[in-house]
Structure 1
Amino acid sequence: MADPEAGSGPQPIPSRSEGRRFSILSEFVPESLQPPSFLETSPIVREILSRDIAECSSDDDSNTQVSDGEEEPTVADAKLAFHPNGIAYGSGYSTIAIQGLDRPVPNPREVEDSLQAEISLLRDNDILPPRHPRSQRSGILWRLYRRFFSTNVKDNEDPEPIFDFTDQAATESTPLLFSSTVEEEETLPTPPPEEVIERFEEAVAAHAIKTTWQRETKTLIQYAAPLIVTFLLHYSVTIGSVLTVGRLGMTELAAVNLATMTASITCYVPVQGLSTCLDTLCAQAYGSGHKHLVGLQAQRMTWLLWILMVPIAVLWWFSEPILASLVPDQETASLAALFLRVLILGMPGVAALESGKRFVQSQGLFQATTYALVIGAPLSFFLNYLFVFKFDWHFAGAATAMAITQNLLPLLLVLYVRFVDGRQCWNGLTRKAFSNWGPMIKLALPGMIMIEAQFSVLEILTIAAGQFGTAQLAAQSVLVTVTSTSFNIPFPLAIATSTRVANLIGAHLSDAARVTAKVAVVAGLVVGCFNLTIFAVLNETIPRIFTQDDEVVAIVKQVILVCAAMQIFDALAAVSHGILRGVGRQAIGGYANLFSYYCVALPVSLSTAFALGWKLSGLWFGLTMGLAVVSGLEMLYLYNADWESAVAQAEARMKSEDVTAEAKFTPA
């Protein structure tokens, strides 16, 4: 096999102390907690990339290698690498993560984020000078600001009294806040990266790094805010169709819920599950300097997904008899089948978008997906209005608008790569994308199975709702849309939490990680209470946004109060699983999720809905109980967890991980 260094530019060799720096979202699950069916993915990743490097290092591909003068991603200086894995919506975050999938190599943007995070912590602990000279203000408002908003550790450990009655008596000319001087506005120079790294290493060794709840709150907001926007924009494509169809009638609203849930469980969720392996493959290819392999991996996955969609398309085309056997109303089944047949046109875009998102994200271009959604999401609302009401395509118009949007989003990503950034990892279409599929499928299948296991519960509850009649199924459509929208706030918060906790655990800062965990739990409670308040106060306004049918509105108005109570547990479950993921115990959270869904939520839902006659209220009551159980189990585990052992296991794991500890790949 060809030497991977040949013709590919200088390869960055991580330092020995760099092991903990790659502990972002890594799995440190004891072997006793790992099911025997789990696959060691690191050898698979090595096999895939080794084969690709060997095949793509021939003379005809010499132009695809990184040139000597091209800037390489410098990873040796990263200690707190920022890996917002999960930004691809629906990537199975709350299921059992597959071992090794969350250990990508940092890209240049993540290295810079890492450095800035270290600088912030060093400044908070007075190890580096502040960005601006310390103000000498002493007014009441300034003291209030320092008490509640200052991220400096000293300010929080020994805050000045807000009301100091020993001060000299104030006069008419005494200002509450002293004005800034010219000196205070000067920006102090930041030390060079080498000095920052050295000081951070020394401070960690001396246990001199602490954090504050203000710092962690600020960090979580910075991490979560862009993800919230991205997730809401992504889900708005579905919301647009539901809002439009709700104006057509109760039957149409019920049908769109049945169709979209069936599409999710048979296509969208498996596609997202399979494509999660690109989080590792693309990032490893980019980090090792073989940038042309990033495009190759994305091409290979896209072709695989397109081939798998052929039998799915056949299933959708002939889905009417199957749906008719699941729901009693034949018109609802017929309309749902029509919706699915039209959605077949959007299948290529769904697959291309999942691969495209990983392609740009592996290069640190996380904003690319958001930019595409900023254009695509509003356009989907316009297309729904145009096709359904102006062109009088009615129900099929909503499906057409969704299919067009699904194909438009990857095209927008292509335009971003072509004209803005990311083109350096694309070397055009190649026949090599049709080779080396075996290891990739072996790597991708476990992720799809775990995600499918969780989402299947939602399909079961949707089918159960259909047994109560069209009105109940239409109300279920509104409730699923509303609760899914509200979940797009705590879910990004959970991703931000797992990232930050893993950063700090990887840097041996267990005390700081505990502070982040506490802040995240409080933030989850705040988000849950916010959602609960919205649901409870607007219990009649919300359903009327979707439909004017009084029967459906009455059902939603009643059941949404159950969903309101569920918001607390939904947010806590998301955040607690984010913390578990950060400390490397996501397997525990995954098992707790599966247990709560299949052993608590599903039995309680079906029992209360059918045996007690609670109907839709019973279905959501069972789901609420399941979330209460999983959040309670995860919180109990975290309360009794040994955070120091997580740090020790992180260090041991990273020292033994040869995929991220070496830039060279040995022959398979």
Structure 2
Amino acid sequence: MLQNTSSDNATASTPLLEEDRNRGGGGCSSWWRKVLDVEEAKTQILFSLPMILTNFFYYAIPLVSVMFAGHLGHLELAGATLANSWAIISGIALMTGLSGALETLCGQGFGAKEYRMLGIYLQASCITSFIFSIVVSIFWFYTEPILILLRQEPDVSKTAALYIRYLIPGLFAFGFIQNILRFLQTQSIVIPPVFLSAFPTALHFGIAYALVHRTSLGFKGAPLAASVSLCISMLLLAVYVICSKRFGPTWQGFSFESFSFILANLKLALPSAAMVCLEYWAFEILVLLAGLMPNSELTTSLIAMCVNTEAITYTITYGLSAAASTRVSNEFGAGNIDKAKIAMAVSLKLTVLLALIVVSTLAFGHNIWAGFFSDSREIIKEFASLTPFLAISIAFDSVQNVLSGVARGRGWQHLAVYVNLATFYFIGMPIALLLGFKLKLYARGLWIGLICGLFAQTCTLLLITFCRNWTKMDIPAMNREIETQV
């Protein structure tokens, strides 16, 4: 399917190129085509923009609940914020990572035209997410003693524990949502999820207001509203997949056969989850370290502002990461290794361009941006001094985000886990501790250590991407082998 489209594009471009040459503009056109594959870039841009919107809408639901809780008082704001951060690093990141197995399995399966297997992979991944959601839910019930052990305020820990318990149903729903999104993403179906995510997000404002202010639930209504809205989102996506005729080849109903693929799914899901979690945890550790420094209130505020800024830019470049993963896995499944490499190269060029735009915006508007977080002149001034370091980290993080997408599409999650573990925890963190505490560079030292980790991570992923043997993984052969065993 995809290779036919690419062939048509290539064929159509030839007379256009000849026409440009006849007009005397052939040199410019030829140069531009050497710099960037225009058709591939257009495909990826049109793919990534809806992905960015969908991702934003789903992550906005729990954020809006925190805002509603925060207006009830300072303790409620502190508890809800802490609970949301704890939920992200202990559950949300895990669910997002587990769904990464589908980027490999469904992406390559779709490219190989093994359409029936996509529905089987989806069910196997949902079973995996459900099991891990149960484990995380049990873990969440002990949130209060864990947070106290991490030296958080007892009252805030108690409030956060109450908040997160009502968020448990939302955890299950979020896991299913991520799996269905990957199922759609690998088939390049990205427009419908925008509307299916925007509607429950808009509805969430009304649900949160009603439960928080119009019932006796009060504070507990905020996380419960997030759970309700996420469940509605999950049901909308599920109904769309089950009832839409366009999924006839890829969704053929529920099947017990999916249980046979749980192990195959886990072999990719666990490394995918580790990839995501190791990176999330590294940023959160920086915030915790900032709290141990002299003038911890200022240092923590600065690091938190940098982490939030980095997270927002990560969300933007995630669209290109998803595009890279899908295009690489689809072309790989179809056996078009050269086209997969071209897609990878185009993704890297686009993310460098996007990073330059973000960094330039931050360079000229850092004071305005800092003003959204705080009115303190001291914090704004200190953030300005950190801006060059933040710009460097955003540049490296944008490139590694796309390279991680290539790794998921190619099935190299296990290699990326080792890379993230080594670069963040054996290079970045020791340097951050040395510069931040020993050499007393404080916030700058912590962020320079992170930059060192990101630089090492990006360089290593580049080496893997360009030096590793790009031979085709025979997904259909694996399917036949497992089907024979069953």
TM-score, normalising length: structure 1: 0.59
| Structure 1 residue 341: Cα displacement | 2.0
The residue that corresponds to 2:202 in the other structure is 378
Q: Which residue of 607, 616, 623 corresponds with 2:450?
A: 623
1:584–1:403 Cα change, 3 Å: closer
The residue that corresponds to 2:425 in the other structure is 598
Q: Which residue of 317, 325, 332 corresponds with 1:490?
A: 317
Number of aligned residue pairs: 479
Q: Distance in 1 between matches of 2:274 and 2:396?
A: 25
Q: Which residue of 128, 132, 136 corresponds with 1:312?
A: 136
| Structure 1 residue 326: Cα displacement | 1.0
Q: Distance in 1 between matches of 2:382 and 2:78?
A: 13
Q: 1:246·1:547 contact (CA, 8 Å) conserved in 2?
A: no
Where do 1:8-407 residues align within 5 Å? 111=1, 113-124=2-13, 126=14, 134=19, 138=23, 150=29, 153=30, 213-241=37-65, 255-279=79-103, 291=116, 298-299=122-123, 301-361=125-185, 365-381=189-205, 383=207, 396-407=220-231
Structure 2 residue identity aligned to 1:309: S
Superimposed CA distance per residue, residues 248-269 of structure 1 (whole angstroms, 9 cap, x where no aligned partner): 7776665445323322332223
**Could you list the runs of 5+ residues in structure 2 that have no partner in the other structure?**
none
The residue that corresponds to 1:507 in the other structure is 336
1:659 aligns with 2:478: yes
Superimposed CA distance per residue, residues 213-263 of structure 1 (whole angstroms, 9 cap, x where no aligned partner): 444433442343333333333333354356556667776665445323322
Q: Which residue of 426, 450, 455 corresponds with 2:280?
A: 455
1:461–1:335 Cα change, 3 Å: farther
Superimposed CA distance per residue, residues 16-38 of structure 1 (whole angstroms, 9 cap, x where no aligned partner): xxxxxxxxxxxxxxxxxxxxxxx
1:412 aligns with 2:236: yes
Superimposed CA distance per residue, residues 494-513 of structure 1 (whole angstroms, 9 cap, x where no aligned partner): 44345556777853648x94
Q: Distance in 1 between matches of 2:104 and 2:409?
A: 17
| Structure 1 residue 488: Cα displacement | 2.2
The residue that corresponds to 1:608 in the other structure is 435
**Rg: which structure is higher?**
1
Q: Which moved more, 1:326-335 or 1:484-493?
A: 326-335
Structure 1 residue identity aligned to 2:477: D
Structure 2 residue identity aligned to 1:622: G
Structure 1 residue identity aligned to 2:41: T
Q: 2:109·2:330 contact (CA, 8 Å) conserved in 1?
A: no
Q: Which moved more, 1:523-532 or 1:308-317?
A: 308-317
Computed over aligned residues only, the root mean square deviation of the Cα atoms, in angstroms, reads 4.5
The residue that corresponds to 1:564 in the other structure is 391
1:311–1:591 Cα change, 3 Å: closer
The residue that corresponds to 2:357 in the other structure is 530
| Structure 1 residue 591: Cα displacement | 3.8
More helix by share: 2
The share of aligned pairs that are identical, in percent, is 24
| Structure 1 residue 630: Cα displacement | 2.4
Q: Which moved more, 1:246-255 or 1:304-313?
A: 246-255
Higher RCO (CA-CA < 8 Å; seq separation 6+): 1
Q: Distance in 2 between matches of 1:441 and 1:503?
A: 18
Q: 1:250·1:549 contact (CA, 8 Å) conserved in 2?
A: no
Structure 2 residue identity aligned to 1:123: A
Q: 1:525·1:568 contact (CA, 8 Å) conserved in 2?
A: yes
| Structure 1 residue 413: Cα displacement | 0.8
1:336–1:601 Cα change, 3 Å: farther
**Could you list the runs of 5+ residues in structure 1 that have no partner in the other structure?**
1-110, 158-209
Q: Distance in 1 between matches of 2:463 and 2:121?
A: 41
Q: 1:249·1:547 contact (CA, 8 Å) conserved in 2?
A: no
Structure 2 residue identity aligned to 1:658: A
| Structure 1 residue 275: Cα displacement | 3.8
Structure 1 residue identity aligned to 2:161: A
Q: Distance in 1 between matches of 2:135 and 2:337?
A: 49
Superimposed CA distance per residue, residues 295-332 of structure 1 (whole angstroms, 9 cap, x where no aligned partner): 56545544554344334323323311210221343343
TM-score, normalising length: structure 2: 0.77
The secondary structure found in structure 1 opposite 2:471 is helix
Superimposed CA distance per residue, residues 462-494 of structure 1 (whole angstroms, 9 cap, x where no aligned partner): 433444556655655544333211112333324
Q: Distance in 2 between matches of 1:571 and 1:269?
A: 18
The secondary structure found in structure 1 opposite 2:45 is helix
Q: Distance in 2 between matches of 1:541 and 1:402?
A: 30
Q: Distance in 2 between matches of 1:553 and 1:400?
A: 36
Q: Distance in 1 between matches of 2:50 and 2:133?
A: 31
